[in-house]
Amino acid sequence: MKNILILLLALGLLPAGRAAAQVRVQSLRCENLTNPLGLDVTQPRFSWQLRAPQNRRGVRQTAYELRVAASVAGLGTGKKAVWQSGKVVSDSSVNVTYAGPALQAQRRYYWQVRAWDNAGHPSAWSAPAYWQVGLLTPTNWTASWIAPGYAEDSVQRPSPVLRKEFVVRKKLASATAYVTAHGLYEAQLNGHRVGDAYLTPGWTSYTKRLAYQTYDVTNLLQPGANAVGATLASGWYRGFVGFDNVHNIYGRDIALLLQLHLVYADGSTEDIGTDATWQTSAEGPIRRAELQRGETYDARRAQLGWAQPGYAALGWVAAQVRPYAKDGLFASFNEPIRAHETFTALKVSKSPKGETILDFGQNLVGWVRVKARGRAGDKVTLSHSEVLDKHGNFYLANLRSATAEDTYYLRGTGQDEAFEPHFTFHGFRYLRLDAYPGPVNPADFTAVALYSDMPATGSFSCSNPLVNQLQSNIQWGQKGNFLDVPTDCPQRDERLGWTGDAEVFSATAAFNRNTNSFFAKWLCDLAADQGPDGAVPFVVPSMPFTWGKNLIGAAGWSDAATVIPWDLYTVYGDRRTLAVQYPSMQRWVKYIEDRSRNGLWDTGFQFGDWLAYDVDDDNAGRSAVTSHGLVAQCFWARSTQLLLNAAQVLGKTEDAAYYTALLARIKAAFVREYVTGGGALMSNTQTAYVLALQFDMLPENLRAQAADRLVQNVAEYNNHLTTGFLGTPYLCQVLSRFGHADVAYKLLLQKTYPSWLYPVTMGATTVWERWNSMRPDSTFAPPSMTSFNHYAYGAIGNWLYTSVAGLTAEAPGYHRFAVRPQPGGGFTQASAQLETVYGPAQARWQTSGTQLALDVTVPPNTTATVYVPAASPDVVREGLRKLDASLGTPTGPAAGGYVPITVGSGQYHFTAPWPAKATATLGPQ
């Protein structure tokens, strides 16, 4: 029967209502999260996805209805509803704003939605989802800040432990814990760890913004006696951060703020919070914990049962109440850092120096879980490294002052003892055993990857295994550097939120993972740390540098203020973040305008095209350095264009008119200053032409010849790139856009330095900071600045998704998108899949003999324009049929080697002759 229905539907003989009833609503999200706890957003946004049978196409939402209640039971009865939207005629299914009565702090709300499709039929109500409101104002905090009640060791700074016992007096309905700290914390209830997040409360501009986390701890409590405890560490707050031996950035203190909210079955409530009745001790097992320098854990000093009721807290002293502020507290809304993949050692070997080294096969960020057995006081010391030198010896020079060493002292139980760090992380592939009792068994060592728990959303693969490894390297570079902030590198004494790295990689990052909340949180810190003159710091959260330039804006770095909000709007339809960041965007563009002269931004400090080819010593005298002024002018134009776009989206018509005129002046000044009468650029570099073309700095009549000059420059370097951080992300995009995809493929597939695949051929499993961080003879670039996990050059991933596979957003959130692949490079297959806010979109092409097949998935409530590489519409087939109005009429004749076809939701299988005469060289995009 099912097969008959599918056949009838395919033939258009099934009544529309029969199919329409099968539309479902699922994947409910509130503020981009599934069933979030502790939101302090007073008007949360709801999103959902439609699902339809695979055999049904063109499904759209035409209306929706939302309802919110204080209980699941209340959803079904209108009298108990907190808010009902009624039927709203709209195709909006992303970021629909709550418009009901004011929300109450610490309350859980349940919601569900149904939708009408374009056949006029409603779906069933979705399964209920919920969100829980956090503490909305400082007055909601009844707990007090507390600090250790003893004088701390100011050198080693062992981790304090804090505890309190309390009684659950009646039958419990629910219990919620709100926790934050000056430093890092790990909380326990009755001996059980609270939550699965690490390095909480994360890193923000602490003096202005400090996150707290919310946990449902109902199942951790018991009737009668209970105990709550916490361990603290220095973390980013007062630990060593960055280089220059900088520490105590935000303060010298360490403190805890914790509040338990108990709701009893009879409706009464009770709060138990940090106060002077808590006990504190310096005699915990964590004797040292530094993010860069590792952790020392002495199991002999572990106070067993200290976070359980009935523990005899001998020698513990009362906590000190501190008058620290609460007005900067906010509910954490981005995904926390969690433990993810684990790796066992591939091999154990002895280096020429006699070192015992374990190889985990993947450069990752996290730590190693280790098991050992021995006598009390026996020592285990683990050192971490990304690479071995050319002789096979352990290499640590590039870590600079980051010792990256963990030490454990055994308790001596006579059994295996297991250890892992609590308040540090390392960037490594290799582990050196500097001390270890007994024989080494690889099974006793497990590497654990840590990163912010952003959902994986995108994948790319192709028929070239080296490019697939490059894609893996890009993804692992992102994982290792997205630990609550987007760091530049995770291993040496730096690990800072460099704005330039984040800006160039933002678009690629959003393909690989859902970065909406991650970047929205970081952008709030960017705005908070922005100078009074509008300058955007080089690193966010901001911190002092001895070279004193952190609050001077720089092109390509500070432009994160404009680029990333626009990327979030493009990829996720996040209009609210765009509106929140709009004043910051304005202030940054105003900063540049205030420092311009005659329409040119050629003053102040600039990084320029950082780490371009000329920086190295391998260029045989040729210069690939681009004028810093030219780079700055291009990025001023880009930020102004994005600010203009934002003004139009937000309905700021006067601002839009102003920025339109400003942009024209910026581009006119660029042409006057940097373009010769013959159309050449004053800097004859790849980056100069790439930026001028990417940001439309040249008049239309000069663009084609500028692209030709770019191709000529690439040829002069024997089809190698010479670009740095700012030119590299757009190099292949520009070549593809102007009809030179063949050159883009040549650059991608180069295996010799400098190129993307050169590190892959050298065994890299992440992206390097420099094109030659390791030279062909296996020696290293200067250790003063050589990272083997630095994601910036991984921005090529954006081109893999958008040009090789051909998946591109044309409306916010991929409400409308394009599939326009550019086959080439000898590839026989490429595919990209992206979990958009509307559902999964996919593009996959494959060539076989004389035919090309293009498979496309379009999620419900979206449309796509599919550009099939073909000479004419007549030769294109969808399934076994010629193109006709039933599946989407071609929007025009073949142009540039493509036949464009607009389609609704569904799965499509297009075929066309390959290679076709008109597609031998695909035209400009």
Residues 544, 246 contacting (CB under 8 angstroms): yes
Residues with Cβ within 8 Å of 635's Cβ and at least 6 positions away in sequence, in order, are: 555, 556, 559, 691, 695, 726
Residue 691 is encoded by which pair of tokens?
Answer: 């930026």
pLDDT band at 271 (very low <50, low <70, confident <90, very high): very high
Give the percent of the chain with pLDDT over 70: 94
Write out the residue limits of the CATH 2.60.420.10 domain(s) in the chain: 813-913
Strands (E), 6-103: 24-30, 45-51, 61-69, 81-84, 88-89, 96-97
Residues 332, 211 contacting (CB under 8 angstroms): yes
For the chain, the straight-line distance linking the first and the last C-alpha, in angstroms and rounded, comes to 46
Q: What is the mean pLDDT of residues 493-500?
A: 96
pLDDT of 555 over the 70 cut: yes
Buried/exposed 542-553: b ≥16 CB within 10 Å, e otherwise? bbebeeeebbbb
**pLDDT digit string, tens, across residues 556-609:** 999 999 999 999 999 999 999 999 999 999 999 999 999 999 999 999 999 999
**pLDDT digit string, tens, across residues 662-691:** 999 999 999 999 999 888 999 999 999 999
pLDDT at 735: 98
Lowest mean pLDDT, pick from 57-66, 545-554, 796-805: 545-554
Highest mean pLDDT among 382-391, 612-621, 892-901: 382-391
pLDDT band at 53 (very low <50, low <70, confident <90, very high): confident
Buried/exposed 705-732: b ≥16 CB within 10 Å, e otherwise? ebbebbbebbeebebbbbbbbbbbbbbb
**pLDDT digit string, tens, across residues 783-829:** 999 999 999 999 999 999 999 999 999 999 999 999 999 999 999 99
pLDDT at 16: 39
Strands (E), 373-444: 379-385, 405-409, 417-419, 426-435
Fold assignment, 24-133: Immunoglobulin-like (2.60.40)
Lowest mean pLDDT, pick from 153-157, 243-247, 402-406, 901-905: 243-247
Report the alpha-carbon distance of residue 639 to residue 630 in Å, rounded.
15
Q: Which helix (H) or strand (E) holds 189?
A: strand 184-189
pLDDT of 10 over the 70 cut: no
Catalytic residue numbers read 494, 769
Report the alpha-carbon distance of residue 615 to residue 194 in Å, rounded.
49
Residue 401 is encoded by which pair of tokens?
Answer: 């002052």
Note the CATH number of domain 813-913.
Answer: 2.60.420.10
Write out the residue limits of the CATH 2.60.40.10 domain(s) in the chain: 24-133
pLDDT of 886 over the 90 cut: no
DSSP 135: -
pTM metric for this prediction: 0.95
Report the alpha-carbon distance of residue 285 to residue 299 in Å, rounded.
6
Q: What is the mean pLDDT of residues 525-543?
A: 95
Report the alpha-carbon distance of residue 863 to residue 810 in Å, rounded.
10
Q: What share of the chain is helix, strand, coil (3-state, %, to 5)?
A: 25, 30, 45
pLDDT at 896: 81
**pLDDT digit string, tens, across residues 754-791:** 999 999 999 999 999 999 999 999 999 999 999 999 99
Q: Which helix (H) or strand (E) holds 369?
A: strand 356-372
Q: If 0-12 CB within 10 Å is exposed, 13-18 middle and 19+ buried, where does residue 323 land?
A: exposed
Report the alpha-carbon distance of residue 433 to residue 344 in Å, rounded.
15
Note the CATH number of domain 138-331.
Answer: 2.60.120.260
Question: What does the mean pLDDT of the chain come to?
Answer: 93
Cα dihedral 765/767/769/772 (nearest 10): 70
**pLDDT digit string, tens, across residues 130-145:** 999 999 999 999 999 9
pLDDT band at 115 (very low <50, low <70, confident <90, very high): very high
Instruction: Give residue 798's region: left, alpha or beta (phi > 0; psi -120 to 50).
Output: alpha
Residue 418 is encoded by which pair of tokens?
Answer: 């297991």
pLDDT at 923: 59
pLDDT at 19: 41
DSSP 8: H
Residue 474 is encoded by which pair of tokens?
Answer: 């890009």
Residue 243 is encoded by which pair of tokens?
Answer: 């280089």
Write out the residue limits of the CATH 2.60.120.260 domain(s) in the chain: 138-331
**pLDDT digit string, tens, across residues 324-372:** 999 999 999 999 999 999 999 999 999 999 999 999 999 999 999 999 9
Q: Which of 513, 519, 569, 514 is nearest to 540 (CA)?
A: 519
Residue 547 is encoded by which pair of tokens?
Answer: 């070279």
